[in-house]
Amino acid sequence: MDRKATLKREDGLWMLRRMRLIRQTSERIARLYPTNVMETPVHLCIGQEAVSVGLCRHLRDADKMFLGHRTHGPALAKGLPLPKLMAELYGRTTGCSHAFGGSMHLIDLEHGLPGSSAIIGGSIALGCGAALAAQLGKNDYVGVSYFGDAATNAGVFYESMNFAALRKLPVLFLCEDNGYSNVMPKSAHSAHDIVSVARQFMTTLQADGTDVLSVYEHTGEAVAQLRRGEGPVFLHCATKRWMKHQGHEACDIVDNGIDRERDCPIRKLEAFLLKSRLITPAELAQIEQAVEAEIDAAIQFAESSPFPDPSLLEVS
Amino acid sequence: MPWSRFDSNYEAPAGARDITYCAAIREAIDQAMCLDPRVFCIGLDADDKFGVFGSMSNLTHPERVLGTPISENAMTGVALGAALSGMRPIHVHLRNDFLLVAMDQIANYVAKWQDMFDHQVKVPLVIRSIIGRGWGCGAQHSQSLHGLFAQIPGLKVVMPSSPYDVKGLMLSAVKDDSPVLFLEHRWLYKNTGNVPEAMYTLPIGKAATLRRGGSLTVVATSLAAIHALKACEQQELDVDLIDPRTIKPLDLDTILASVHRTGRLLVVDYDFPFAGFASEVVAAVCERAHESLRQPPQRLCFPDRGMPSSGRLERAYYPTPERIGELMRQMILGSSIDADSFVN
Ligand SMILES: Cc1ncc(C[n+]2csc(CCOP(=O)(O)OP(=O)(O)O)c2C)c(N)n1
């Protein structure tokens, strides 16, 4: 498909801004994390921004997305306001989960994020539940189950796909495949090919998860099928995790195949937008600066927000 | 059978030195694997470079350490099937919370297999799991749930507090022909203590008295026992501190004998309060030693709600040695206080 002919400037800019928001926020978190201002385990999404952003450009606030432990990117892409994320990481009452959830448990009801779980696998079923509710209630929203490659090892993955296919649920199975489960490569945790397995159950699409336009195109197709009521879709996005599984350090797995120049989703989009004359170099710089300012403001908001009072723990 | 020299009155050999709780676990597992080729370890990340927080690093038989996918329920069944086929698996989990994914296999299969077939089979399976907390781990990565597991007939639940206990009880668990759930608190891993180098076993179902005193009986396990001990030392309290070490089977005799002497009972339990281990101890003592009690027994547990993540709330959520000490002091000194104030 000729992307230049089809991509609208506003879509391109939106995706660039969101990816920059995720990238720059993650980089700021990585810088601040060693100072212990955020007492919560962080699973950063640097390098993986294209997946959630390409996806969310096609989602509405009413669409309900369920996440696992690697939350920041998809939550920001879906619309979680940055100050609410930062305040949650800082353990303040103004955080999206009021200081009870931390990094792995984010919620934003206004933007279709009914919560995220740190036990691998289980939340895949929840996306199907949202889709079932849409179907039963004759609502036109869709459910999204957002998970990593290793979650396909859990039985709940198969059980959920089977049920979704049987009932033709409007649910998107979004597999953000970064090739690793912590330090375990996919070859060590999966004998199966994820895409072939998914094909047994439903329409299955494959996107380049380091290229936001690829994810965007395929999601468009997937979401259109869901909204037509033609049953669930599986979207596989192959991407790369630049950081360690958890924490602020760069991934130290030897032979991880990461080339930060070649694989950077932001550089790819920027290059495309420049080449297509959808953006100017000056605008690129402006976006980067505006995002920095947004992050400064969010951190200031978090730092000046109150800590929760221990009386909140009292059980009535 | 290689285990025959470890009968119940086998004496721990001399030759002890100070090692960490973590090293004591590692040594027990390594020795068990060297002694008996049927012993193998299996679990998610069991074979990675971190070696289960160091508790399985550099084992002599890495070929018997198997990593698994994130498939806890099926892997529990795999371990059970292997145990029923003559192996002695040690299935390890990095967090207790992950055990819940395997609850069907644990509660319906592992725990019940012997009762269902009138004990015609042996189930020599150890399920090792680590209790985490802190750093905003939150509600799904900080649970202990030993009370829940102990409620299921057919499971032994062991939770040692010291390096000496953890080695001896780990070897007993591997030697045992019935399933044992072996719970290790992550915060104990760096603690050091005197541990014999040679193999020894400690009886499952026998409490240890960590401190002798006459005014108050305190029952606590695992990290709670260490915190209670610290509280006694800080506040110089006349406390009889009992660490049951295994909560199922429970050494009630030791607890009852103590309560008969002190007339007061406090259970410090790092688990949820409702229908939990602390409730069980209090109920058993009320049933059997009611006449000895000079005041209502008390429980100090977690609040009856999921763990919060903010550091501020975490620090308020978890009991501390200071809070334990304060409560002990109140119970000992304030026995004239109106009983109502003990109902919370
Ligand atoms: C049931 C369960 N078992 C183990 C874990 C520990 N754990 C946390 S993240 C993770 C790896 C997950 O990999 P994947 O699903 O591919 O997502 P990624 O981290 O790569 O985004 C594991 C094993 C867990 N959270 N839940």
Q: What is the pLDDT of residues A265-306, one digit of tens each?
A: 999 999 999 999 999 999 999 999 999 999 999 999 999 999
Tell me the CATH number of domain B208-335, given options 3.40.50.920, 3.20.20.70, 1.10.287.990, 1.10.10.10: 3.40.50.920
Structural domain includes residue A311: no
Look-up: residue for tokens 């609502």? A139
Measured between CB atoms, does A41 come within 8 Å of chain B? yes
Backbone angles phi, psi at B8, to 5 degrees: -65, -30
Q: Which residues of B are catalytic?
A: 141
How far is the C-alpha of A173 from the C-alpha of B39, rounded, in Å?
40
Q: Answer yes or no: same fold for B18-194 and B208-335.
A: yes
Question: Domain limits at A227?
Answer: 3-303
Find out whether the beta carbon of A67 lies less than 6 Å from any atom of ligand 1.
no
Which amino acid does the sequence have at B175?
Answer: K
The H or E element containing residue A225 is: helix A212-227
Write down the number of H helices and E strands in chain A.
12, 7
For chain B, positions 83-122, list CB contacts with chain A under 8 A: 97-98, 100-101
pLDDT-derived band at A314 (thresholds 50, 70, 90) equals confident
Sheet-wide strand order for A171-177: A64-66, A143-148, A171-177, A233-238, A203-208
Would you list the domain boundaries of chain B?
A: 18-194, 208-335
pLDDT at position A254: 86
Cα of first residue to Cα of last residue in chain B, in angstroms, is: 52
The H or E element containing residue B217 is: strand B216-220
Structural domain includes residue A313: no
Q: What's the mean pLDDT in A255-260?
A: 88
Look-up: residue for tokens 């879906």? A78
- Closest ligand 1 atom, residue A176 Cα: 21
Q: What's the mean pLDDT in A190-210?
A: 98
How far is the C-alpha of A239 from the C-alpha of A178, rounded, in Å?
5
Contacts of A183 in chain B (CB under 8 A): 48-50
Helix, strand, or coil here: B16?
Answer: strand
Closest C-alpha residue for ligand 1 atom 25 = A119
Whether A167 shows a pLDDT value over 90: the answer reads yes
Helix, strand, or coil here: B183?
Answer: strand
pLDDT at position A2: 66
Contacts of A105 in chain B (CB under 8 A): 138-140, 309
pLDDT at position B344: 38
Structural domain includes residue A36: yes
Whether A141 shows a pLDDT value over 90: the answer reads yes
Find out whether the beta carbon of A243 lies less than 6 Å from any atom of ligand 1.
no
DSSP B108-176: IIITTHHHHTTT-S----EEEEEE---TT--TTSS---HHHHHTSTT-EEE---SHHHHHHHHHHHHH-
Whether A260 shows a pLDDT value over 50: the answer reads yes
Ligand 1 binding pocket mutation candidate from B70, B98, B106 (most atoms within 8 A of CB): B70
pLDDT at position B11: 53
Q: How far is CA A168 from CA A202, A230, B115, B128, in A?
A: 9, 7, 43, 41
Structure tokens at A252: 């130290």
Query: Nearest Cα to B310, choosing from A312, A75, A234, A200?
Result: A312
Structural domain includes residue A132: yes
Structure tokens at B31: 């020795």
Distance (Å) from the C-alpha of residue B94 to the closest C-alpha of chain A?
12
Structure tokens at A154: 């859990």
Chain B residue closest to A90 (CA)?
A: B310
pLDDT at position B340: 43
Q: Which of A91, A155, A184 sits opposite B73 (nearest CB)?
A: A155
How far is the C-alpha of A273 from the C-alpha of A213, rounded, in Å?
11
Contacts of B305 in chain A (CB under 8 A): 313, 315
Burial-class residue A181 by CB neighbours within 10 Å (0-12, 13-18, 19+): buried
Structural domain includes residue A90: yes
Q: What is the pLDDT of residues A15-47, one digit of tens each?
A: 999 999 999 999 999 999 999 999 999 999 999
Tell me the CATH number of domain B18-194, given options 3.40.50.970, 3.90.470.20, 3.40.50.2300, 3.20.20.80: 3.40.50.970
- Give the rounded percent of residues in chain A with a pLDDT score beyond 90: 96
**Residue segments in chain B with a per-residue pLDDT below the cut of 50:** 1-2, 4-10, 336-344
List the CATH number of the domain containing A290.
3.40.50.970
Structural domain includes residue A53: yes
Structural domain includes residue A314: no
Residue B37 and residue B177 in contact, taking contact as beta carbons nearer than 8 Å: no
Q: What's the mean pLDDT in A96-109?
A: 98
How far is the C-alpha of A266 from the C-alpha of A50, rounded, in Å?
8
pLDDT at position B1: 38
Number of domains in chain A: 1
Structure tokens at B37: 């080729």
Structure tokens at B28: 């027990």
